[in-house]
């Protein structure tokens, strides 16, 4: 997020697109509803009539995969009505002419057609967003999990820049990060091209700095992303795979492909707190301690570095992941030891500028939001305050293109996936809580009544779904919240796993798979 969670309370308008906030970021969802009570306006764009839609001034139930068209359409209305922030564009942005050129083609009438929504609603949404003094955009995977995900993110940023909503309190561009520490995993260099703090591996000065700090020879060759790693394991170029705390056999697109890759790799180490669908393929399983059994920090979606504290001893012989990694490094000949995670944080601070001022003493009571450059730096509530980070805000206009796989005669339905309130990711943890299983016991597919009637499917019927990649059986749930000819499935369940069907076609830049759109067929199981 460019901005902070508490700033939501003082916002004038919120535009929530591709985020089922009340289920996936429940406390942010509640904060948004509090803001509405304080008078904030709400625009919701989602293929499903999610809970927030009930609170919305405008709800746009768009077809999956048409975000960019909608965003361009809103910008078209804003420019047409002269609602853009001219001064801000002049002073702080560049490439405005190119934006105008592309946006001009996206009249609300044309966009309404593409997205399957009303022209008036697009106009209304654009006006609410542009006329609000402080307006924030909130999005999640509904924007990013498309072959055009990067362009989707750019389009969100274009809209925010157009109205001067970047670098300002209670506004901004706010991707809500899904997992507890996905922000931190990125910050710490858990990415193929990035050392900690997004310092690029291909920059000689960066490599030099880290070689000195770590006293080791480093590679400046950009590494592989997850899809490339699985392809490598599949074709034999990856021989040794180490998976810590992940379960791609449920969470990743095209599970049949993942399975073949895991079967094929020479040596697989899995480190986790439970047996998982993935660890079944391992050569060695290392038992890790849970979050309640170790010290450390997580960085949340608003970039706040917060303490995790040990409450009980690790169960059995399990060990905290940091200790396992350290001991393994030592076995492999790298003789560095840490007596506790606070020492690791001190090392992180010494090599990561945005974490430069972080230490355990400073975050004892309240976490600090990075960038926090040194010990006297108070941290940063919202980004881009005086200038856009890269100098000036750059408009990066994008054309709308169709999803990689669109419905056809054989696979006539749009299939989309997501999460639900009660489960978390692959259920490794929530699947072991009785009450949760009582409320959300098994996999299902949401189907609109009209579609169901046409196919003779009744609520609770067992159905078979097939895509070009796989086939699963699940239970039909007839609901009003989904459009005709669109099917939605939560991906959490290993039994009837949605990801056997999903498409691993990915965005060319971010390499994010198109988990939000696939073409499937559905039939009743007799």
Partner 1 sequence: MNIIINGTTYEVEKNTTILQACKNAGIDIPTLCHDERLKPTSACRLCLVEVEGTKNLVTSCSTMVKENMVVHTHNEKVMKTRRDVLNLAISNHPLECLSCDKSGDCKLQDYCYEYGILNGTYKGAMRTPKIDSSNPFYDYDARKCILCGLCVRVCDELQCSNAIGFEDRGFEANVSTPFNEGLINSKCVSCGNCVSVCPVGALTPKGQKFRHWETSKVRTTCSYCGVGCQMDLVVKGKKIVDVEPAMDAINNGLLCVKGKFAYKFINHPDRLKTPLIKRNGKFEEATWDEAYRYITKKATEIKENYGPNSFAGLTSARCTNEENYLFQKLFRAVIGTNNIDHCARL
User: Which residues contribute to the site for ligand SF4 (CB under 6 A)?
Assistant: 26-27
Backbone φ and ψ of 119, nearest 5°: -55, -45
Binding residue (CB under 8 A) for partner 1 from 102, 127, 436, 481: 436
Question: Nearest 10 degrees: CA dihedral of 433, 435, 441, 445?
Answer: -110
Residue 49 binding partner per list ligand SF4, partner 1, none, with a CB distance cut-off of 5 to 8 Å that depends on partner kind: none
User: Residue of minimal CB distance from ligand SF4?
Assistant: 27
Burial of 145 by CB count in 10 Å (0-12 exposed, 13-18 middle, 19+ buried)?
A: buried
Full DSSP string of 375-434: TT----SSS-SSSBTTBSEEP--------SS---SSS-EEEEEE--TT--TTSTTGGG-H
Q: Give the nearer residue to ligand SF4 in terms of CB position, either 33 or 168.
A: 33
Q: How far is the CB of 445 from partner 1 (least distance, A)?
A: 20
d(CA 447, CA 60): 19
* Prior bond of 143 cis (ω within 30°): no
Q: Give the nearer residue to ligand SF4 in terms of CB position, either 27 or 329.
A: 27
Of the candidate spans 64-72, 390-398, 424-432, 445-453, the one that interacts with partner 1 by CB under 8 A turns out to be: 424-432
Q: Tell me how many residues contact partner 1 (CB under 8 A).
A: 144
296 three-state secondary structure: strand
Binding residue (CB under 8 A) for partner 1 from 233, 368, 388, 519: 233
Of the candidate spans 28-36, 66-74, 128-136, 155-163, the one that interacts with partner 1 by CB under 8 A turns out to be: 28-36
Q: Give the nearer residue to ligand SF4 in terms of CB position, either 342 or 430.
A: 430
Q: Give the nearer residue to partner 1 in terms of CB position, either 32 or 457.
A: 32
Q: How far is the CB of 358 from partner 1 (least distance, A)?
A: 9
d(CA 274, CA 245): 9
Residue 399 binding partner per list partner 1, ligand SF4, none, with a CB distance cut-off of 5 to 8 Å that depends on partner kind: none
Q: Extract the tokens encoding 512.
A: 């994010």
Nearest-Å Rg of the Cα atoms of the chain is 24
Cβ count near 52 (within 10 Å): 24
Q: Give the nearer residue to ligand SF4 in terms of CB position, either 26 or 441.
A: 26
d(CA 64, CA 45): 10
86 binds partner 1 (CB under 8 A): no
Closest CA to 483 of 129, 140, 55, 53: 53
Q: How far is the CB of 325 from partner 1 (least distance, A)?
A: 4
328 binds partner 1 (CB under 8 A): yes
Residue 291 binding partner per list ligand SF4, partner 1, none, with a CB distance cut-off of 5 to 8 Å that depends on partner kind: partner 1
Q: How far is the CB of 417 from ligand SF4 (least distance, A)?
A: 19
Taking residues 253 to 292 in sequence order and writing x for each that binds partner 1 by CB under 8 A, - otherwise, the string is -------------xx-x--xxxx------xxxxxxx-xxx
517 binds partner 1 (CB under 8 A): no
Full DSSP string of 434-448: HHHHHHS-S-EEEE-
């Amino acid at each position: 997020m460019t901005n902070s969670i508490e700033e939501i309370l003082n916002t004038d308008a919120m535009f929530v697109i591709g985020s089922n906030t009340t289920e996936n970021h429940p406390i942010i969802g509640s904060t948004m509803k509090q803001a509405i009570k304080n008078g904030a306006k709400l625009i919701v764009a989602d293929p499903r009539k999610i809970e927030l839609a009930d609170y919305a001034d405008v709800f746009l139930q768009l077809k999956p995969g048409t975000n960019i068209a909608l965003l361009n359409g809103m910008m078209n209305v804003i420019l047409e009505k002269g609602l853009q922030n001219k001064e801000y564009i002049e002073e702080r942005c560049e490439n405005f002419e190119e934006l105008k050129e592309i946006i001009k083609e996206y009249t609300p009438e044309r966009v309404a057609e593409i997205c399957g929504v009303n022209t008036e609603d697009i106009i209304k949404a654009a006006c609410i967003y542009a006329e609000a003094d402080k307006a924030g955009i909130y999005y999640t995977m509904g924007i990013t999990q498309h072959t055009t995900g990067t362009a989707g993110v750019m389009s969100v940023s274009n809209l925010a820049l157009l109205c001067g909503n970047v670098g300002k309190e209670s506004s901004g561009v706010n991707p809500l990060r899904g997992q507890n520490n996905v922000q931190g995993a990125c910050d710490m260099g858990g990415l193929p091209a990035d050392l900690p703090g997004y310092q690029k591996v291909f920059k000689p000065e960066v490599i030099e700095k880290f070689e000195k700090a770590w006293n080791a020879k480093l590679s400046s060759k950009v590494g592989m992303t997850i899809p490339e790693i699985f392809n490598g394991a599949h074709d034999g170029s990856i021989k040794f795979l180490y998976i810590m705390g992940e379960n791609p056999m449920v969470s990743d697109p095209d599970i049949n492909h993942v399975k073949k890759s895991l079967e094929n790799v020479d040596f697989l180490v899995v480190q986790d707190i439970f047996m998982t669908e993935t660890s079944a393929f391992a050569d060695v399983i290392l038992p890790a301690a849970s979050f309640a059994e170790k010290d450390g920090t997580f960085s949340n979606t608003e970039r706040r570095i917060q303490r995790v504290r040990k409450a009980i001893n690790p169960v059995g012989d399990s060990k905290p992941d940091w200790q396992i990694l350290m001991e393994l490094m030592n076995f492999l000949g790298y003789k560095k030891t840490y007596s506790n995670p606070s020492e690791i944080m001190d090392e992180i601070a010494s090599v990561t500028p945005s974490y430069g001022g972080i230490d355990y003493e400073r975050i004892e009571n309240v976490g600090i939001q990075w960038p926090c450059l040194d010990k006297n730096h108070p941290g940063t509530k919202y980004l881009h305050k005086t200038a856009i980070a890269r100098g000036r805000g750059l408009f990066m206009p994008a054309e709308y293109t169709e999803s990689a796989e669109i419905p056809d005669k054989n696979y006539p339905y749009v299939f989309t996936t997501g999460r639900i309130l009660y489960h978390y990711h692959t259920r490794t943890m929530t699947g072991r809580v009785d009450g949760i299983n009582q409320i959300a016991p098994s996999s299902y597919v949401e189907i609109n009544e009209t579609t169901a009637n046409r196919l003779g499917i009744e609520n609770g019927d067992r159905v078979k779904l097939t895509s070009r990649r796989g086939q699963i059986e699940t239970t039909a749930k007839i609901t009003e919240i989904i459009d005709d000819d669109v099917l939605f499935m939560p991906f959490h369940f290993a039994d009837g796993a949605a990801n056997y069907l999903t498409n691993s076609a990915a965005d060319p830049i971010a390499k994010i798979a198109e988990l939000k759109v696939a073409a499937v067929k559905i039939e009743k199981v007799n």
